[in-house]
Amino acid sequence: MNTDTPAPSAALLLIGNELLSGRTQDKNLAFIGSRLAARGIVLCEARVIADIPAVIVQAINELRARHTYVFTTGGIGPTHDDITADCVAEAMGVALEVHPEAERRLLAYFQSRDVEANADRMRMARVPVGGTLIDNPVSIAPGFQIENVYVMAGVPRIMQSMFESIEPCLATGPRIDSISVICNLAEGTLANALRQLQEEFSTLDLGSYPMSAEDGQRVVLVAKGSDHEALVRVEGRLQSMVQSLNGQLFQS
Amino acid sequence: MNTDTPAPSAALLLIGNELLSGRTQDKNLAFIGSRLAARGIVLCEARVIADIPAVIVQAINELRARHTYVFTTGGIGPTHDDITADCVAEAMGVALEVHPEAERRLLAYFQSRDVEANADRMRMARVPVGGTLIDNPVSIAPGFQIENVYVMAGVPRIMQSMFESIEPCLATGPRIDSISVICNLAEGTLANALRQLQEEFSTLDLGSYPMSAEDGQRVVLVAKGSDHEALVRVEGRLQSMVQSLNGQLFQS
């Protein structure tokens, strides 16, 4: 189930009442999860929490002590419920101050668009002391990094552009690849042989995921890990396993 | 930001490596979040965690001590990575045993479909001692409830059918309703007036959510709460606010 090589770990904090009420379908977890995996960073957990200061502060402190990286999304806009920067400053025990470069960028942006740089918009220039900016190519208002915490916007398009600007600076772990084999056998038919393969290929993570196809049920067998030689071997073994159980293989 | 009336609280535990790797897009949070809100149960947090026993056990114990209800999804199938039932039993300090009614249902189902009731499939009949079954109208293998923890499947269609079978038995809180007003003003333009409205309507939660429309950007202003008279009043006030800021209102 594990690799022997150590890898950087991460936690993701999705902040916003609208995610918990079902009003908004989160799309940030899947994006960040797959991008971190491609870099060899293990996303160990994600939490979805409400816009409540004490809850946000506690979650940040708990997760930043435990993981190489903490990424947050949401709560850095101009309105009263945008409290992430305040909470990160409180969690770090530092002041929240106007960051001169953030202020400069925002003033130039608002001026160019003939938009009033009112107090609410300029809240977005505040950064915990010691933090550095995360660029926002989409709508300028920056995120920030302080210690191992990376604070990003909640709107997926903006979050993605922010993530791409920090991505090259993140540590890399052993590259985690995956192979998958699709078949028409039920999980209950595959389970025993799959368990034996998992025991044999202990450097890989084997999983099975049911899915619906137009002409019936499928199970996708997935093997993941950084042991590339083992991945190649297990793919052949998974295919033989399906055939020996009288199952049919499908292209992915 | 709060209502004065107490409401049942809940936490959701989404279990599965495939959610953290970005392989699978979670759809269970939004469903459960909206159904709980409709019942007046406040979903306070959701966690997405990996298939690691110690992590699952710790999360269950932490959350069940803190909330009226804990709902879990995922990890109750027949394969080696389906370990949720084992972890719940461990968290509760009870044995995991074959539940006679679960066994009966599974045997009848497998027999009717001419499927072998092998040891892996029959793992799905195991329930922590003291647990009661949650019906699964889709694929029979039941979930279970023990104390305030409700264990459901991860496949959305199955999870939903399980949730609907327990829904009538859950406590209800003050019904939380919401109104929304859509306009073409930027959040930075609305922020100050919105903050004042939030202070005035302290029994409601006011939020603003940017969204893209075909002909430009919109902001959806949402008010939520169980104070119905206040919801009616705030809707009119939000509309007046938009008009006084020279914004345009749109139908939802």
Q: Which of A18, A118, A188 sits opposite B188 (nearest CB)?
A: A118
Give residue A212's pLDDT band: very low, low, confident or very high (50, 70, 90).
confident
The nearest alpha carbon in chain B to A43 belongs to B20
Please tell us whether the domain made up of A9-169 is placed in CATH 3.40.980.10: yes
Residues B84 and B16: beta-carbon distance below 8 Å: no
Distance CA B14, CA B200 (A): 37
Nearest residue to B46 (alpha-carbon basis) of A212, A54, A15, A161: A15
pLDDT above 90: residue B31: yes
Residue with structure tokens 């269950």? B60
- Residues B22 and A30: their CA atoms lie apart, in Å, by 4
Cβ within 8 Å of residue B43, ≥6 positions away:
A20, A21, B9, B10, B11, B12, B32, B33, B36, B37
- For testing the chain B interface, which of A9, A14, A23, A118 should be mutated: the one with the most B CBs within 10 Å? A23
Q: Kindly state the average pLDDT of the residues B176-192.
A: 95
SS3 B236: helix
Would you place residue A77 in the very low, low, confident or very high pLDDT band (cuts 50, 70, 90)?
A: very high
Average pLDDT taken over every residue of chain A: 95
Reported as a single tens digit per residue, the pLDDT across B135-171 is: 999 999 999 999 999 999 999 999 999 999 999 999 9
- Chain B residues within an 8 Å CB radius of A209: 18, 23-24
Residues A123 and A138: their CA atoms lie apart, in Å, by: 18
- Residues with Cβ within 8 Å of A104's Cβ and at least 6 positions away in sequence, in order, are none
Least CA distance to B225: which residue of chain A? A21
Q: How confident is the model at residue B5 (pLDDT cuts 50, 70, 90)?
A: low
Exposure string over A152-175, b if 16+ CB within 10 A, otherwise e: bbbbeebbbbbbebbeeebeebbe
The model's pTM is 0.94
Round to whole Å and give the CA distance between A194 and A197. Answer: 5
Query: How far apart, in whole angstroms, are the C-alpha atoms of residue A32 and residue A9?
Result: 13
At B225, which helix (H) or strand (E)? strand B216-225
Q: Looking at residue A3, what is its pLDDT?
A: 45
Interval A164-179 mean pLDDT: 94
Backbone angles phi, psi at B200, to 5 degrees: -70, -40
Residue A79 has pLDDT above 80, yes or no: yes
Answer whether A24's CB lies under 8 Å from A15's CB.
no
Please check the confidence at residue B2 and state whether its pLDDT lies above 50. Answer: no
What end-to-end distance do the CA atoms of chain A give, in Å? 24
Return the higher-pLDDT residue of B36 and A7.
B36
Q: How confident is the model at residue A157 (pLDDT cuts 50, 70, 90)?
A: very high
- At A124, which amino acid appears? M
**At the topology level of CATH, where does B177-250 sit?**
Alpha-Beta Plaits (3.30.70)
Could you give phi then psi for residue B128, rounded to 5 degrees? -60, 140
Please state the domain extents for chain B.
9-169, 177-250
CB–CB of A107/A142 below 8 Å? no
Q: What is the pLDDT of residues A19-58, one digit of tens each?
A: 999 999 999 999 999 999 999 999 999 999 999 999 999 9
CA-based radius of gyration for chain B: 22
For chain A, give the longest Cα–Cα distance: 70
Q: Which helix (H) or strand (E) holds B48?
A: strand B42-49
Give the closest-approach CA distance of B150 to chain A in angstroms.
18
pLDDT score at B1: 43
**pLDDT for residue B216:** 84
Instruction: State yes or no: pLDDT of A2 exceeds 90.
Output: no
The whole-angstrom separation of Cα B218 and Cα B184 is 5
* Residue contacts between A and B (CB atoms, under 8 Å): 188
Strands of the A216-225 sheet, one edge to the other: A205-213, A216-225, A177-183, A249-250
Residues in chain A: 252
Closest CA to A22 of B190, B153, B29: B29
**CB contact (8 A) between residue B35 and residue A22:** yes
Place of tokens 């904090």: A13
B-chain CB neighbours of A40 within 8 Å are: none
* Site from A20, A183, A184, A204 to mutate, B interface, most B CB atoms within 10 angstroms: A20
Please give the full DSSP string across B18-43, using - where no structure is assigned: HHHTTSS---HHHHHHHHHHHHT-EE
pLDDT band at B252 (very low <50, low <70, confident <90, very high): confident
The amino acid occupying position B168 is P
Residue B225 · residue B203 · CB < 8 Å: yes
Residue A11 has pLDDT above 70, yes or no: yes
Which residues are bridge partners to A72 per DSSP?
Answer: A13, A151
Burial per residue of A78-107, b for 16 or more beta-carbon CB atoms within 10 angstroms, e otherwise:
bbbbbbbbbbbbbbbebebeebeebbebbe
CA atoms lying within 13 Å on the CB side of residue A220: 16
Q: Give A199: exposed, middle or buried? Use CB within 10 Å, 0-12, 13-18, 19+.
A: exposed
pLDDT for res B198 = 97
Contact A169, A177 (CB under 8 A): no
For every residue of chain A, DSSP letters joined together read ---SS---EEEEEEE-HHHHTTSS---HHHHHHHHHHHHT-EEEEEEEE-S-HHHHHHHHHHHHHHSSEEEEES--SSSTT--HHHHHHHHHT--EEE-HHHHHHHHHHHHHTT----HHHHGGGEEETT-EEE--TTT---EEEETTEEEE-SSHHHHHHHHHHHGGGS---SPPEEEEEEESS-HHHHHHHHHHHHHH-TTSEEEEEEEEETTEEEEEEEEEES-HHHHHHHHHHHHHHHHHTT--EE--
Q: What is the pLDDT of residues B50-85, one digit of tens each?
A: 999 999 999 999 999 999 999 999 999 999 999 999
Instruction: Please report which helix (H) or strand (E) contains residue B85, including its range.
Output: helix B84-92
pLDDT tens for A224-239 read 998 999 999 999 999 9
CA distance A190 to B81: 12
pLDDT band for B206, please (50, 70, 90 cuts): very high
Nearest Cβ partner for A194 among B20, B30, B79: B79
Residues in CB range of A145: below 8 A, 6 or more apart? A131, A132, A133, A134, A151, A166
